[in-house]
Amino acid sequence: MDADVSDSPGTPAEPERPDHPAGGEPADGPQNTSGAAPREDASAGAPPPPASGTSGSESSADDGSGPGDGSDDTDDGAPAADGTWSQRAGRDPRGGRRHWLRWTALAASFLVLVAAGVGWWLYKKLDGNITTDTSAAAELKAYEKDRPLPIARDAQNILLIGSDTRSGENSAYGRDDGGSQRSDTTILLHLAADRRSATAVSIPRDLMAEIPSCHTDEGKSTKAQFAQFNWAFELGGTACTIRTVEKMTGIRVDHHMVIDFNGFKDMVDAVDGVEVCLKEPVDDDDAHLKLPAGRQELDGEEALGYVRARKSIGDGSDTERMDRQQKFLGALVNKMQSNGVLLNPTRLYPVLDAATKSLTTDPDLDSLRDLYDLVRGMRNVPTEKVQFLTVPRTAYRADPNRDELVQPDAGRLFTQLRKDEPVTVVPADKMDSGDSQAGDSSEKDPSGEKPGETSGSPTPAPTYSGSNAADDPCGT
């Protein structure tokens, strides 16, 4: 092929290329004889031709190949039409694809790191919201030998205490007498070992109980006394309340939670309100509550007034107030389960944030992981198996403004819970006369048998008046 190249001065003719059907154009410069606009040379940017006086053979020797001899192949073996692919940077489709994949991988890695960082920040924030009650743990450890032993393996008994302190942000709900603590509401929550049922038992604050000797915040010892139940919290805080409950029931309290007013309000707001039903309109300045009669949804502030009001709703008794609290908590549980809050991290986060900010727990329940495990165990409990009742009690003989336990009904209830055996709860208006609890309890054996009689069939679960989370607030 070198023998055909002219040695005379001038630019050698280009080899035939696919974009010149008639072959190469003259070496002394193309002439546009067609009248069409000049075509931009596709080989722009290629190395210039050899200088005048340089032979074509010398040019071939410099390149290592002859022009148009087919040796300038692409990576996959196809010849390059307008110079080598290395001369036309950026036109390798595989190189561009690799470039795009690198950027995609980098962006994905960045997003994963950001998501992990945000997730860790949210976890630490919620985890840091929780207050640990180390003083109660120390007090309970000192009296460990006096505490009941757990009987049912994997069952959990958690004492929920609604704090009625009027200090800080809670001062709007009453006079602050030095920030003294009160237990406005106390509920013993029993979670069955199989996590297929949950039973919440309210303990009236005016119930007469044996309160053991406890230690105050200043380290002083109080005397053991028979007094109304909520004195235990005021005298010796959470530890004293737990020991009083254990002495009364014989049930080992595994964990405790104390939540104040503002935490309760924020939880209700986090689930966008809870539905209730009022038989009559309410106008109560003390409870910051003004509501019409009928079915309606309460926000956090209204809900707090609703569960705390006494004189303005119903007969003004603490009994009716506890019944109202139980039904409201049932409606809250129903709202969280029916709206998928427990299964939706986006909706669950505000609830956890509201709860943890006003939550004080024992050291074994003071992390978000511990609380999540607890909630996860409860999310499959059917709403009709989330039951609420009050300990069987009646007016105290020495003071009708106080309550006392009704036996043997109360003892039977505590035994069922201690052994993790079933308890049946039905509305008070559906209780048979033989199974009723005389308002809250019955002196009769719920099995219908007389003392000393035996039966070949299993003894039915004791029946108590109460409610469950599946109940309609208006009873329809």
Residue 442: CA atoms inside 13 Å, Cβ hemisphere, count? 17
d(CA 27, CA 14): 7
d(CA 446, CA 293): 37
Predicted local confidence at residue 354, as pLDDT: 84
CB 289 within 8 A of CB 265: no
d(CA 319, CA 401): 11
CB 5 within 8 A of CB 57: yes
Q: 3-state DSSP call for residue 232?
A: helix
- Helical axes 231-249 vs 134-142, angle rounded to 10°: 50
Per DSSP, 419 falls in state T
d(CA 30, CA 387): 97
Predicted local confidence at residue 289, as pLDDT: 87
Residue 303 CA from chain centroid, whole number:
21
Low-confidence ranges of the chain (pLDDT < 70): 1-97, 110-124, 164-182, 315-316, 432-460, 476
- What the block records as the tokens of 146 is 């006096």
Tokens 């390149």 -> residue: 63
CB 386 within 8 A of CB 364: no
Predicted local confidence at residue 83, as pLDDT: 52
Predicted local confidence at residue 177, as pLDDT: 46
Q: 3-state DSSP call for residue 253?
A: coil
Angle at 435 between CA 429 and CA 439, to 5 degrees: 55
Tokens 């329940």 -> residue: 365
Q: Which helix (H) or strand (E) holds 118?
A: helix 93-129
Q: Which of 212, 239, 254, 205 is nearest to 390 (CA)?
A: 205
Residues 370, 376, 254, 222: what is their CA dihedral angle, to the nearest 10 degrees?
Answer: 70
The single-letter code of the amino acid at 178 is G
Angle at 410 between CA 404 and CA 413, to 5 degrees: 155
CA distance to 43, 50, 92, per residue, from 17 (Å): 11, 19, 21
Per DSSP, 185 falls in state E
Predicted local confidence at residue 181, as pLDDT: 65
Predicted local confidence at residue 264, as pLDDT: 85
Q: Which of 235, 238, 220, 301 is nearest to 267 (CA)?
A: 301
CA distance to 94, 148, 237, 468, per residue, from 186 (Å): 70, 19, 13, 18
Predicted local confidence at residue 377, as pLDDT: 76
Measure CA of the first residue to CA of the last residue in the chain; give whole Å: 102
d(CA 114, CA 107): 11
Per DSSP, 207 falls in state B
pTM of the model: 0.69
- What the block records as the tokens of 408 is 């043997």
